[in-house]
Amino acid sequence: MEEYTVKVSVSDFAAALDLQVVVEGKGFIDLCSQNISRPGLQLTGYFEHFDRTRIQVIGMAEHEYIETLSPAAREKVCGQLFGRNIPCLIVARNLDIHKEIIDAAEKNDCPIFLSGQITTQVVNDIYAYLSRLLAHETMRHGVLMDVAGVGVLIEGDAGIGKSEIALELINRGHRLVADDCVIIRLINENLIGTAPEKIRNFMEIRGLGIINIQTMYGPGSVRQEKGIDIVVQLEKWDESKEYDRIGDVNITAKILGIEKFKLLIPVSPGRNIPTIIETAARKYRLKQIGYDAAQELLEKTLK
């Protein structure tokens, strides 16, 4: 997938990562790369293969090297670094920031931040922040539930009963992530689902109206996000269609290029769909540790 650019204000960036603004620069940062650099080689004047889109972080090693340079040498390498239009520079460990660095940043309108964290922690925090900020995302119509620790995305035509099924699962102690609209982000090759901020914790039940799940059932009935493990597709029972009765049919759903196990569940009067979904989640967990009931039955039959 192609990278895209996100514009973040200097103040928002500093607040998100608990940073002190030293130079505000142009007041915003253009971010398009999840990678981070420590410009050790660049401080020696080597800029071959330099990726200017990366956030630059200076730690103790870079700081100590800068200390060995003459003011003229510092001015030269800092001018070369900031002249390449880097997003920003972050100095870790509350280290002193040399005047030549500040002068070059101000000349090129580049933000500088200061962190009290050790360098490794700063890099980890930035990476986690960028992973979410720059994650590719899509939106799906459905309900996302945490069922026995398994992320279950329930999809189906309007009016088939997705929200009512989710409500019954909540009554059984499982947790709601999103109703009606699910935002899915691809983060580190994992599909993470959440609800749009404005409708988080709310659910629409036909004939009843809007209810707030957290207010009604307590904080333990909801969660802000959940990785998607299973996609459950609900459809009206079709007598002419052959449905899986063994559990050996392997169907997948592709979301943002990632394939997830998919269950096609027919809905008809009398079928307890919440129990089926609950059982599907537990069956998925057993499969993750290597147990397959269909395979066990097959082996017993062939003995």
Where in the sequence numbering do the catalytic residues fall? 141, 162, 180, 245
Phi and psi at 84, nearest 5°, equal: -90, 10
Give the span between the Cα atoms of 163 and 145, in whole angstroms. Answer: 10
DSSP 3-state percent helix, strand, coil across the chain (nearest 5): 35, 30, 35
CA angle 17, 40, 53 (to 5 degrees): 55
Give the span between the Cα atoms of 233 and 6, in whole angstroms. Answer: 34
CA angle 206, 207, 213 (to 5 degrees): 65
Q: Are 3 and 35 in contact (CB under 8 A)?
A: no
Return all residues near 28 (Cβ < 8 A) that are at least 6 apart. 7, 8, 9, 10
